[in-house]
Amino acid sequence: MSTNTVHDLINQQYGRAIWRQYDSVFCRLRCEADRPHLSTLCESAIFTCKNAPKPGSEHIVGMANENGHLVVMDTESEATNCTDAHSNAIFDLAWKFDQMQLVTASGDRSSMLYDMADGDFRHIRTFCGHSRSVKTVAFRKDDSSAFATGSRDGNIIIWDTRTQQHSSLIKPDSTIRNSHGDTPFKVKRRHGGIPNLSKLPSGSSRVFTLLSGFLLSDVKSVTSLVFQNINTLISCGSYDGMIKVWDLRKHYTVYKKDPLPKYSIRYSGTTGKNGCSNLVIDNAGVRLYANCLDSTIYCYNIATYNPEPMMKYRGHQNNTFYIRASLSKDENYLVSGSTDENAYIWNLGYPQPIVKLVGHSSEVSSVAWCNRKAAPALVTCSDDMSYKLWKISNLDSTDNEQGRAEILPFPANQTASRKRRCFHEPNLLPKKIIWQCKNCQRTTFTNTLCDNCLPPTSKRKADSELFSESKRIQTSNLRTEDLDNLPNFVVDGMAPHLNYSPPKRRPQDWLTRLRIERNFQQEIMGHRSPKAPRLEMSPKGNIKTCTSANSPLLRTNSLRTDQQCNVPIAIQI
């Protein structure tokens, strides 16, 4: 045991600190060979495993395989109970946070609710509403009667177990249709009934299915669901690379077009493998961990919905949608399965894993923490049709082992950031050396003389210079009568600027503004010199008409012209 671990253990025993970092303990994880072999569960690949979140029951783990078998195991006593839940594969399961009940997500397009309070499986209800395989299921936070299911048909259905208590089949409470799918493309057929695939969008790398003249996208599957709070649901898809946040207060069932999420987080990587296989959220609903197919786990801050990830965890391999991750009880460590037949554990403060669990012979798909006490314990499930229970054991015991933990070396470019101290020293104040004055033998912080023994030629000003009479403000000429008429803001409780309010402009419509502009133009035109009237001449040389005779001045000029020419004029008014 390292020195850091000893100091942390001693501080925890005396109540000085909490033992939060126990990285060195994970190297003692072992999987013993004398574990009970579950013949029913180990007939096919195990797809999912999750522990019960109810306080005091964290050591209870539920597992399901490809044949539809459901097993609940007590990791402390290793007692098991099995049932044939579905006729098809079970891809996911979820526990209630306050009861010993779980719901399954199966490939037979249904979900079933089971009660494990008495230790035996008791089927309660069946939930049917999807048109394809159900891939994920999640219970709502602070409300164990509602849960959500996501399917390969792209729909998300919200179920409420309190509705229709007399019926075994329950209708969905709300449905989000085509949550991670695209609008289908209409394909024109060539001669002979062969579709023209050249009409597809350029640069598209998706997989399509031809069905009755339409080219439908087969990549709109919902792979994982988590609840941020009672009214917020977060989902991820298989190939769209989007993490969508849904507001459940909206009724998406009545929407005719594709529903719009409240927020969307795009894929943060640079590769074409932008699908997400698993979402994990902390208890506070602030950090979201997305396990993507580019072998990276992205950590997002969903308190602000920042599209840029806070942290990127690498070191494992993720090539399928069956790889799952799990967060520890204290939310300081993260474990994930991997395609390279191992499981990896991260300290959330560092981007690279610290421990690798070796022992499986095929892809490790699902993992779960199952420790009720302080000592960590894990369960890993693999495609080699086996599961392994990892617990702390003696370092020297090498017999009867089916798996062991290996410490991973620090990368060269992160040695400085992951450097750890050998001893935890308290944050002390900066140390000062105390000296003795050579003249008066008093203590001082300098190795020369104290402040009292400094010579008068010092740069420090004397008190007589700092507080001289010439620098004081002359207040003898001030009279109290001059201050009587000044307002006392403390007594009145208000200042003069609070009574002032700028004049408000009266609202004007467009017709009033047009009238004001015309009046302003007429006033400007009135200051100019009047123009002379423009008269038209008749063919005989006489004056015929006056075009601008509206003003009195033009009328006067026209009369004068009429008197001089003795010709009648028609004035246009």
Q: 169 with 191: CB under 8 angstroms?
A: no
Instruction: Kindly state whether residue 568 falls inside one of the protein's structural domains.
Output: no
Residue 155: what pLDDT? 92
On whether both 245 and 134 belong to a single domain, the answer is yes
> What span, in angstroms and rounded, lies between the C-alpha atoms of 350 and 309?
14
Residue whose C-alpha is closest to residue 313's, from 339, 347, 352: 352
| Half-sphere exposure at residue 301, Cβ-oriented, CA atoms within 13 angstroms | 7
Q: 300 with 264: CB under 8 angstroms?
A: no
Above 90 in pLDDT, residue 86? yes
DSSP 8-state assignment for residue 35: P
On whether both 96 and 245 belong to a single domain, the answer is yes
Q: Within a 10 A sphere around the Cβ of 253, how many other Cβ atoms?
A: 14
Residue 419: what pLDDT? 41
On whether both 295 and 388 belong to a single domain, the answer is yes
What's the token pair of residue 228? Answer: 């941020």
Residue 2: what pLDDT? 56
Residue 6: what pLDDT? 67
Instruction: Kindly state whether residue 492 falls inside one of the protein's structural domains.
Output: no
Above 60 in pLDDT, residue 562? no
Residue 141: what pLDDT? 87
On whether both 326 and 405 belong to a single domain, the answer is yes
Residue 459: what pLDDT? 47
Q: 150 with 134: CB under 8 angstroms?
A: yes
Residue 152: what pLDDT? 93
On whether both 334 and 256 belong to a single domain, the answer is no
Instruction: Kindly state whether residue 356 falls inside one of the protein's structural domains.
Output: yes
Q: What is the pLDDT of residues 94-107, one digit of tens each?
A: 999 999 999 999 99
Q: Of 246, 266, 286, which residue is a domain's last?
A: 266
Please state whether beta strands 364-369 and 378-382 pair in parallel, antiparallel, or not at all (unpaired). Answer: antiparallel
Percent pLDDT > 90 in the chain is 36
Q: Of 230, 250, 266, which residue is a domain's last?
A: 266
On whether both 247 and 290 belong to a single domain, the answer is no
> What span, in angstroms and rounded, lies between the C-alpha atoms of 258 and 256?
7
**Which range, of 31-35, 36-40, 157-161, 256-260, averages the lowest pLDDT?**
36-40
Residue 200: what pLDDT? 42
On whether both 111 and 238 belong to a single domain, the answer is yes
Residue 250: what pLDDT? 87
On whether both 101 and 171 belong to a single domain, the answer is yes
What's the token pair of residue 179? Answer: 């949550």
> What span, in angstroms and rounded, lies between the C-alpha atoms of 203 and 200?
9
Local structure of 43: helix, strand or coil = helix
Residue whose C-alpha is closest to residue 403's, from 353, 318, 343: 343
Residue 449: what pLDDT? 74
Q: Of 411, 434, 453, which residue is a domain's last?
A: 411
| Half-sphere exposure at residue 295, Cβ-oriented, CA atoms within 13 angstroms | 12
Whichever domain contains 93, its CATH number is 2.130.10.10
Range 278-290 average pLDDT: 94
Q: 109 with 131: CB under 8 angstroms?
A: yes
Of 23-32, 163-172, 311-320, 431-440, the range with the highest mean pLDDT is 311-320
**pTM above threshold 0.75:** no
DSSP E strands, 325-392: 325-327, 333-337, 342-347, 355-358, 364-369, 378-382, 386-392
Instruction: Kindly state whether residue 532 falls inside one of the protein's structural domains.
Output: no
Sequence-distant (≥ 6) Cβ neighbours of residue 277 within 8 angstroms: 223, 224, 291, 292, 293, 318, 320, 321, 322, 323, 324
Range 454-470 average pLDDT: 54
Which H helix or E strand runs over 136?
strand 134-140
Residue 352: what pLDDT? 93
What's the token pair of residue 196? Answer: 């023209």
Range 252-268 average pLDDT: 85
Instruction: Kindly state whether residue 379 falls inside one of the protein's structural domains.
Output: yes
On whether both 17 and 93 belong to a single domain, the answer is no
Range 305-321 average pLDDT: 93
For 293, the domain range is 12-43+274-411
On whether both 287 and 336 belong to a single domain, the answer is yes
On whether both 244 and 117 belong to a single domain, the answer is yes
Instruction: Kindly state whether residue 390 falls inside one of the protein's structural domains.
Output: yes
Range 417-424 average pLDDT: 41
Above 90 in pLDDT, residue 225? yes
Above 80 in pLDDT, residue 205? no
More confident residue, 441 or 285: 285
Q: How many domains does the chain have?
A: 2
Q: What is the pLDDT of residues 344-394, one digit of tens each?
A: 999 998 999 999 999 899 999 999 998 877 678 899 999 988 899 998 887
Question: Mean pLDDT, the chain, as a whole number?
Answer: 76
**Which range, of 82-86, 280-284, 423-427, 513-517, averages the lowest pLDDT?**
423-427
Local structure of 299: helix, strand or coil = strand
Range 73-79 average pLDDT: 87
Phi, psi (rounded to 5 degrees) for 8: -65, -40
Q: What is the pLDDT of residues 542-558, one digit of tens each?
A: 544 444 444 454 444 44
Instruction: Kindly state whether residue 556 falls inside one of the protein's structural domains.
Output: no
More confident residue, 539 or 343: 343
Instruction: Kindly state whether residue 32 falls inside one of the protein's structural domains.
Output: yes
Percent pLDDT > 70 in the chain is 65
On whether both 147 and 259 belong to a single domain, the answer is yes
